[in-house]
Chain A
Amino acid sequence: MDFTFNDDQLSFREAMSRFLMTEAPPEMLREIWETDPGRSPELRGKLAAQGLTALSVPEDCGGLGMDDVAWSLMTQELGYYAIPDSLADTAYVSAGLVAALPAGRAGREEVLGRIAAGSVRIAIGHPVNPLVADAATADLLLLPHGDEVHLVPRALVDVTPNPSIDLSRRLASLAWEPSSATRIAADEAGRRLWAQALDRGTLSVAGQLLGLAQRMLDLTVDYAAQRKQFGKPIGSFQAVKHHLADVATRIEFAKPVLYRAAHALAHGGADAPVHASHAKLVCGEAAWLAARHGIQVHGAMGYTWEVDLQMFMKRTWALDASWGDRGFHKSRVAESILAEGAAIGPGHTFEVQA
């Protein structure tokens, strides 16, 4: 029993953080906002050069074969730097779905190889999301038709953009025709793939929300230490301190919930969906509180376009309801613990049924 990260995992995270701090500063994110696609091929190229697109592609398909636990760290960094890119959708959720296909199905190995090489963007139209993120810039789309999974080239899809308050979000409604040529799974296999994709998408957003929470806390702590009123830094006032202490506490207690979910997903635990929902709920609440208290402590400055806090707040508000809103995830948790004969006795905190 060891519920901690090893040194390799921690230094991976550290390296990713340093890389994104340099390569994706807020000024650059604002520039990318202004572009029509809202995505930067240069940034994606750099992410791929770091091996991030290959992270969870199986090793025999040219990837690094890392699991959900690595993504629980990586997604926090993506959130912390509010990266305007669909990296996790392609390299984590889609890679996981495609890797779960039988060998040889639908060009599985070729698609995985392209994901690893960073030469393909894949958007996912999961039924839980009413709109599809990054559909316009995608090369391929994973789309549902009932239980079926279709892998559809972008050219076969009509995309209608739906602008979001978060300029880094590029959402669209789609029109497309399912065909046997695009179908890659159906029935039970399709249901299983969509279920796994949901849990990974949930974990991905949970990690990003936690990273966003930490970033908003850090920005606000900096501001409170510098901004003076009544001749003192506002961070010396208890009312301000207590707001930020509450955010720090939420973040600390959301982390292990996220890590348990990641481990359960990586090991196919029966409770993985519930653990993922729990993680999304607590990470969302931490981020939501960090936004609320963040803008309060920033005062009027927090309500401006100029101050960077807005970027992270808007991402939080947008992501909180993606990959299942709170009602969806809370229902999953409630149904699990209130079920007849629910396994909630001692020794069930880590349910690993490989």
Chain B
Amino acid sequence: MHLAYTDKQKAFRAEVRSWLARNVPKAPLASYDTREGFEQHREWERRLFESRLSMVMWPEHLGGRGCDLIEWLIFEEEYYAAGAPMRVNQNGQLLLGPTLMEFGTEAQKQRFLPRMAASDDMWAQGWSEPNAGSDMAAITSKATLSEDGSHYILNGQKTWSTRAIFADWVFGLFRSEAGSTRHHGLSYLLAPLDAPGVTIRPIIALNGKQAFAEIFFDDVKVPVDNRIGEEGQGWHVAMATAGFERGLLLRSPARFQATARKLVALYQANRASADRDPSIRDAVCEAWMGAEAYALSAYHTVGRLAKGARIGAEASTNKIVWSELDLKMHETAMRILGARGELLAEAPDAGTDAAGWLDGFLFAQAGPIYAGTNEIQRNIIAERMLGLPKS
């Protein structure tokens, strides 16, 4: 146990901090759930990429800068502390990216990863279907291999695909073996969203924006080169991605530490009214401790990964912790804001911070649902960590 940063790590922190101070937009970007905001965020991603800061832990030849996971944690701490924009392409960069690194051919990596790092391609996720949500193995969308074996024909419907209406590509699971059931016979495929036969219909989220979409596939042709991993091995490939999503990468601790800091500041600024409810001070304190614990767990996990450990079912504990922490912090903020909490950004009396908390509060409602509901995560913990029998 050695808990000091090296000179190289300190220098990296200083470099990132300085770059962010010079480059983070002074005014917040429009919501990335709108066309305008989506493109603003893509521009921001390109600036990050030009300085090799979009995917710091990817190898240099694939658009990154070859950082280790400690440097990645440092980058994330500085990124969120600087109030930099949300990462619009993280479904691609943090879900598909690591999957390509592990299962992709060299040609696939070269073809997709640098463009993903630059956000030249924006990615949507195609896993859930109307009847395959928590029960993801119930997928029915089909991939039929052409007679000459050169491509698949996709048919079916995907849903809850985040920002798919604005995206360029989709990655997802399709049933490639006729008559197969459950997690057998699935393949992991990549499809361009401008291909003939693709129809995207936005779903309006409770924030009133086109935050996700349904994707319909009608005889969509996809070359076999767009398959990741072996045919029929899609479930295995996707589960690796699910681990990444629930685990560290998608929800780095820095984001929640930054929220906890903002919550402390919000409480300090509204102390006179907040202290009328004595439980608020305790909730602020608990939020801080929770975010610290999540960060400490990340450092512990990163250290174990560096020594060759694999993240198993404990990724499910991560998902429960960050999603419930995030919700709790935003609930506490709403309680501190009181009657101002409901006001939209354009409301004259909203003040400077109320709308940001409201946006975060709404999004936090989704945390315990997406990426596998927290009920499913608790089942996974009970069965795979604790060894309890399946129901």
The chain A residues found within 8 Å of chain B, CB to CB, are 1-6, 9, 69, 217, 221, 224-225, 232-233, 235-238, 240-242, 244-246, 248-249, 252-257, 259-260, 263, 267, 278, 281-282, 330, 333-334, 337-338, 342, 344-347, 349-350, 352
Contact = CB atoms under 8 A, between A and B. Distances in A.
A-B complex: 3 closest residue pairs judged by Cβ atoms: A241-B382, A256-B296, A346-B77
Contacts of B385: 245, 248
Interface in B201-224: none
Contacts of B74: 347
A346 B74 CA distance: 8
Given A333-B285, A347-B13, A238 B391 contact: yes
A233 B386 CA distance: 14
A5 B303 CA distance: 9
Nearest to B389: A236
A347 B82 CA distance: 13
Nearest to A218: B386
A4 B303 contact: yes
A242 B284 CA distance: 26
Contacts of A236: 388-391
Given A238-B375, A252-B314, A334-B285, A350 B293 contact: no
Given A242-B378, A346-B257, A237 B3 contact: no
Interface stretch (B4-12, B119-127, B130-138, B191-199): B4-12
B256 interface: no
Nearest to A253: B293
Interface in B335-391: 375, 377-379, 381-383, 385-391
A352 to B, nearest CB: 6
B261 interface: yes
B1 A263 contact: yes
B70 interface: yes
B293 A4 contact: no
A338 B264 contact: yes
Nearest to B298: A256
A282 B388 contact: no
A256 B81 contact: no
B281 interface: yes
Interface residues of B, number: 57
B297 A241 contact: no
Q: For chain A, what secondary structure do more than half of its interface residues adopt (helix, strand, loop), or is it mixed?
A: helix
B300 A255 contact: yes
B282 A330 contact: yes
19 contacts: A2-B1, A2-B303, A3-B302, A3-B303, A221-B386, A236-B389, A248-B386, A253-B293, A253-B297, A253-B317, A256-B299, A278-B292, A337-B285, A337-B288, A344-B261, A344-B264, A349-B292, A349-B295, A352-B3
B289 to A, nearest CB: 6
Contacts of B381: 245, 248-249
A131 to B, nearest CB: 27
Given A232-B389, A256-B300, A337-B285, 10 more contacts: A3-B302, A221-B388, A233-B388, A244-B386, A248-B385, A253-B297, A253-B321, A254-B293, A255-B300, A338-B264
Contact of A245 (B1, B4, B386): B386
B5 A346 contact: no
Given A241-B378, A241-B382, A249-B317, A256 B297 contact: yes
A125 B285 CA distance: 30
A225 B388 contact: yes
A263 B3 contact: yes
Of B5, B295, B296, chain A has the most CB atoms within 10 Å of the CB of: B296
A334 B280 CA distance: 12
A108 B292 CA distance: 39
B294 interface: yes
A221 B285 contact: no
Contacts of A233: 388-389
B307 interface: yes
Contact of A2 (B2, B295, B375, B389): B2
B387 A330 contact: no
A1 B389 contact: no
Contact of A244 (B6, B281, B314, B388): B388
A244 B217 CA distance: 42
Interface in B290-328: 292-297, 299-300, 302-304, 306-307, 314, 317, 320-321
B254 interface: yes
B245 interface: no
Contacts of A232: 389
Contacts of B387: 221, 225
Given A260-B296, A337-B288, A346-B257, A3 B264 contact: no
Contacts of A249: 317, 320-321, 381
A282 to B, nearest CB: 6
